[in-house]
Amino acid sequence: MAAAKRRTAPRPGEGESIYAHIVGWGMAAPERIMTNQDLSAFIDTTDEWIVSRTGIRERHIASDKETTATLGLKAAQAALDIADILPTEIDLIICATSTPEYIFPSTASLIQAWLGASTSGAFDLSAACSGFVYAVDMATQAIKSGSIRTAVVIGTETFSRILDWTDRGTCILFGDGAGAVVLTASSVEGGVLSSVLRSDGSGGDLLGVPSVGSIDISSIPTLKESHKMGKMFMNGGEVFKFATRVIGESITQALDIAGLTIADLKAIVPHQANIRIIQAAARSLKVDESIFVCNMDRYANTSAASIPIALVEAVQQGRIKPGDNIAFVGFGGGLSWAAMVVKWGVPPPEERGRVLSRQRRQVLYRVAWWRVLLGRTLRQINDVINRIRPERGRMERLRRNYDRSER
């Protein structure tokens, strides 16, 4: 099959600007759903207690066959379908995650191979629950610079694998899932209008996951004895105060940069941490709570995946329409926080004329999968051959030495 013609990144001419538009969106969630009642079977809690304090009723939990990369892959494929873009047209893949498949290679690289995006760059970005906004900003800057034309940004998490399921303060809050968007360059004004990225590392002891650094966890003075290597810890009260402070501040700052006010926004898509945080943010911004897109009741906190998952559902429900100004806001470990203002300029996709492209994508996905499988199999065969060759040489030398001794 002939390779798809690669589109080159546009270069701004004199007086011409490049804008980064979101043209595709998709999400994926594990099949298994764990309700609050399910949790109460093995931890001291109730549905009423969880709902009243968090707004969460259920969450999706990954099976052994569902991973950070496989969920991210499904979300990316769904976003490419909406954008009607072939994987061979992707220039860059950024994966925001705190639960990567490996320390390296990056989860983005795994997804890149399975997509068949053979000419794209790929890397992971770690900014916890702010990661998706950070990643969209990185892709936007690359597009505006003219170095790339098309980027896929993915937020994907399997937090269920880093939770301490005996800790009622954290295990009730999180779920697994993935969301993705496709951004492309355009001369049409709109798309990502502004962003604010912030961090305060002095709050790094408030929530995190001790991992494979270079020191024993017991030697970290800011960590309590109850913190477990590879499991999440959180000071919920301090994180709540931090989140309620930075949401309003960062959205206001992003609006100022874009030359807009809060009255210009049609929707705010926040990180889905806790309904009480959203309610406090609404009071701080002096807006009705209904402007916030919230679905933590069904997905819980999916960290870097929460904003794109909520975005996808808001678009599907008609809450976000072409011409609307919307805002993203994330906050979490680091401490990190970020806000972004976007002018939504993409009409709902039309099915007519899209069947051929969808079929081509499916073919490319299958080819990519077999390419990965074949490449790994051939390397394993080559390794066996390389081990056999020295052994054959050694046996041949022993035989020659034996023949000489017999003479």
Express each pLDDT in 351-367 by its tens digit: 444 555 777 777 877 78
User: Which residue's entry shows tokens 């081990």?
Assistant: 387
Which pLDDT belongs to residue 349? 52
Residue 271 pLDDT greater than 80, yes or no: yes
Q: Where are the beta strands (DSSP E) in 260-332?
A: 265-270, 325-332
12 confidence band (pLDDT: 50, 70, 90): very low
Which DSSP symbol is given to 226? Answer: T
pLDDT of residue 355: 52
CA distances from residue 306 to 129, 221, 325, 343, 352 in whole angstroms, order as listed: 8, 32, 19, 20, 31
Say whether pLDDT at 319 is over 90.
yes
Q: List the structure tokens of 26.
A: 């998709």
pTM of the model: 0.85
Taking only the tens place, the pLDDT of each residue in 17-47 is 899 999 999 999 999 999 999 999 999 999 9
Instruction: With a cut of 90, say whether residue 372 has pLDDT above it.
Output: no
Set 95, 129, 171, 294: catalytic member: 129
What pLDDT, on a 0 to 100 scale, did the predictor assign at position 56?
97
Smallest Cα–Cα separation from 261: which of 284, 285, 237?
Answer: 285
Name which of 66, 64, 65, 46 is nearest 56 in CA terms: 46
* Span of 3-7, 161-165, 223-227, 248-252 with lowest mean pLDDT: 3-7
Q: Are 128 and 333 in contact (CB under 8 A)?
A: yes
Q: Is 301 a catalytic residue?
A: yes
* All residues at 6 or more sequence positions from 218 whose CB lies less than 8 Å from its CB, including other chains: 225
pLDDT band at 3 (very low <50, low <70, confident <90, very high): very low
Mean per-residue pLDDT of the chain: 86
Residue 339 has pLDDT above 60, yes or no: yes
Told to judge if 271 belongs to the known catalytic residues of this protein, a careful annotator would answer yes
pLDDT level of residue 333 (50, 70, 90 thresholds): confident
Q: What percent of the chain has pLDDT over 70?
A: 84
Pick the more confident residue, 84 or 314: 314
Q: Which of 274, 295, 301, 325 is catalytic?
A: 301
**The pLDDT of residue 65 is above 70:** yes
401 is a catalytic site residue: no
Please tell me which residue in 271, 274, 294, 325 is annotated as part of the active site.
271
pLDDT at 4 (0 to 100)? 43
pLDDT of residue 228: 65
123-127, 186-190, 395-399: least confidently modelled range:
395-399
pLDDT confidence of residue 91: 97
3-state SS, residue 73: helix
What does the CA dihedral 264, 306, 242, 162 come to, rounded to 10 degrees?
A: -170
227 compared with 155, residue with greater pLDDT: 155
